[in-house]
Structure 1
Amino acid sequence: MTPKSEIATAFTANSFTLESFTFFNVHPMTSFDPVHITCADGYQLSGRFYTHQAKKQPYPVLICPATGITQGFYHPFAEWLSQQGYDVLSFDFRGIGGSLQGKLKHSQASIVDWGQLDIAAGIEHLLQLSQAEQVILLGHSAGGQLLGICPNHAKVAKVVAVSGSTGHVKGLKGRTKLLAPLMFQVIFPIARITHGYGPTQAIGMGENLPKNVARQWAEFCGKPGYVINAIGKSVFEDFHADIRSPMSVLWSSDDEIATEANVKDLLRLYPNAATRMIELKPQQYGHKAIGHMLMFKRSHQNLWPVIAAELRI
């Protein structure tokens, strides 16, 4: 029988207090170790390993980034997680940040590569470093959307997707609903010819993207189901129905990309996983906005215990 999705607000869904978590200023003991992660095809990714700074938690955390976002963005949060006792590994997807090799216009990286090769390698590397048997995958946006094409998905004990959804254009709202078609249908195709990459930096959407990433992003968001649209085309192993690890999605009511409709569109792809939806409302936490990106900012660190509560198994 297919497990039911559960919708809750964070205030009522989690019984915890801020006193359960440690907040203190960064000091040298909480620094990270730079690591190189080797993928099955030999490609090397740049990563950061944060060793637990309190009593060790049983499952290490793999932070998988959003499209075009580098590992440095997650540094404050990753460091805080290590202070809660977690071993943490963050990394840059191939073609992005420290994992870009050569000129961007020459990069052949794709979103499919991120799911099939990069996340898979991150899982294995973290297991080796932490000596654990399974990891918790904490994915931001695209980083939480690709487990269904990851061959070693069984080594993931739980998925916590922050702002995780399919990003289907028809489910977007606000300014993003107007911008996305322009970016996908006009800017990306023209820039692929003129520049050889997707110019997202100019419009404030992270690092510029390898051309195949930009192309697949437009393709996957153009229809419901995101990466499911690649099955039978560039992806020939589909693991979505095999995944039974629990999945939690946290999204904000003011997120223009991870809307409730798009969150549901993502979770329907995992029919045999117990899924949980948690909507955050900015005003309840004293914020004017949370949106798609702010949950990992120091300015919003009062949200971090809400995320950490979902790491429990």
Structure 2
Amino acid sequence: MAETLIEDIGFAAADGWPLAGTLYHSQAEATHAVMMSAGTGFPRRFYRHFAQYLTDRGALVLTYDYRGIGGSFNAGHDFANIEYSDWGRYDMSAAVDVLARVAGDLPLAHVAHSVGGHFLGLMPNQSRLLRHAFLSIGTGYWGGHHWRNIPKELYFWWGLGSYSLWRHKAVMPIGGWQGEALPPRLFRTWRRWSHRRGYFQPDLEGALQPQAYAEVNAPIRSWIFSDDPIATRASGRDLLAVYPSADTELVVRSPREYGVNRIGHEGAFRPGREALWDEVSDWLECGL
């Protein structure tokens, strides 16, 4: 197995916000390139084991932090006014350009976790990504989640979230929230969307303009896990519906199918899930 070279890089988002990323290279010649888009509040380092695995399978991999998260926090910039959609419109599109520049003629694929699959229609260059593997991706609408998770979500939205905004002017990693600190504007948008059956769809003709969700036509395969209380079969199906021109497939898997006891909403990227990673990588490679 060839040695992996790990290189931290900096690059600018489409509107100039400084972003941090990590490139995973193999000394062996790569056959394709993969962009890894994170879930809300997850720093890029969370995906390092998965990125290393993909590199061992012949990929050139880019992980990156959205603005306000991890290495892209940048205290001198306007953290308070980061909007949820900025992550897609500016940050994800910039990551595509960086990966394309580094990858040269290699075909580009995308692996997305949670919100990483929500904003393809806001990226003016999304057509450069030839396949999308979604892991644990559904809408944030609480009514589509497992009923046992609803009290926890209401506490997050209106208890912890409201208190943290009042006390800290941001949603801090306190009181059960284990992600990175979230900007106040972003959190309020996420909360508003998550209380609507249509999630962000009512904003497609308003606040989310310009958008081109109907132009996303690369194949999307979405993995939903039976013990994930957030990305359920219902919420996963609702999210795929915002990509009407894409060839979409939703598959529901049990953790036991991969020889583990738990996957949940974030466990797909933890070590020990290599059987799942094999399946994801095989699907990506077969279409490239």
Structure 1 unmatched runs, 5+: 1-23
C-alpha deviation, 1:174, in angstroms: 4.8
Q: Confirm or deny that 1:306 pairs with 2:279.
A: yes
Find 2:75's aligned residue among 102, 121, 128: 102
Residue 16 (structure 2) pairs with residue 49 (structure 1): no
C-alpha displacement of 1:105: 8.7
For residue 176 of structure 1, report the CA deviation from its aligned partner: 2.4
Structure 1 residue 207: Cα displacement:
1.1
Partners of 1:53 and 1:282 in 2: CA distance: 33
Q: CA deviation at 1:182?
A: 2.0
| Residue 36 of structure 1: aligned partner | 10
Compare 126-135 and 291-300 and name the one that shifted more.
126-135
Q: Give the secondary-structure state (helix, strand or coil) at the position aligned to 1:179.
A: helix
For 1:194-231, what per-residue CA distance to the aligned partner results, in whole angstroms no more than 9, with x for missing partners?
21111345414311211122112112222234332432
Which residue does the alignment assign to 1:127?
Answer: 100
Distance in 2 (CA, whole Å) between partners of 1:95 and 1:219 is 20
Structure 2 portions without partners, runs of 5+: none
- Counterparts of 1:12-91 in structure 2, within 5 Å, are 29-57=3-31, 59-91=32-64
State the SS of the aligned residue for 1:111.
Answer: coil
Q: Describe how 1:143-292 pairs up with structure 2 within 5 A.
A: 143-292=116-265
Partner amino acid, structure 1, of 2:128: K
The one-letter code matched in structure 1 to 2:127 is A
2:85 to 112, 131, 141: 112
After alignment, is 258-267 or 46-55 more displaced?
46-55
The CA RMSD measured in Å over matched residues stands at 2.0
List per-residue Cα deviations over 1:137-169 (Å, max 9, x = no partner).
111010112102111111111111110111210
Q: Matched residues in 2 for 1:130 and 1:46: separation?
A: 18
Q: Deviations over 1:117-136 (max 9, x none)?
A: 00000000000011137521
Is the CA contact (8 Å cut-off) linking 1:101 and 1:107 kept in structure 2? no
More divergent stretch after superposition (169-178 vs 89-98): 169-178
Bigger mean CA offset, 114-123 vs 178-187: 178-187
* Alpha-carbon distance, 1:302 to partner: 2.5
Cα deviation per residue 1:11-56 (whole Å; 9 max; x = unaligned)? xxxxxxxxxxxxx6xx8x3131111121121111100001145442
Distance 1:277 1:231, change over 3 A: same
Q: CA deviation at 1:106?
A: 4.2
Q: Is the 8 A contact 2:221 2:251 kept in 1?
A: yes
C-alpha distance in 1 between matches for 2:63 and 2:174: 21
**Distance of 2:282 and 2:256 partners within structure 1:** 20
1:79 and 1:201 map into 2 onto residues whose CA distance is 30
Q: TM-score when scaled to structure 2? A: 0.93
Which deviates more, 186-195 or 273-282? 186-195
Partner of 1:136 in structure 2?
109
CA distance in 1, matches of 2:76, 2:192: 24
SS in 2 for 1:251: strand
Tell me how many residue pairs correspond in the alignment: 286
Deviates more, 1:221-230 or 1:249-258: 221-230
- 1:115–1:146 CA contact under 8 A, matched in 2: yes
- Identity, in percent, stands at 28
Moved over 4 A (4+): 103-106
Name the amino acid aligned to 2:231. A
Distance in 2 of aligned mates of 1:270 and 1:155: 16
Shifted more, 244-253 versus 134-143: the winner is 134-143
On the 8 A contact 1:220/1:230 being kept in 2, the answer is no
Match of 1:17 in 2: none
Per the alignment, in what secondary structure is the counterpart of residue 272 of structure 2?
Answer: helix
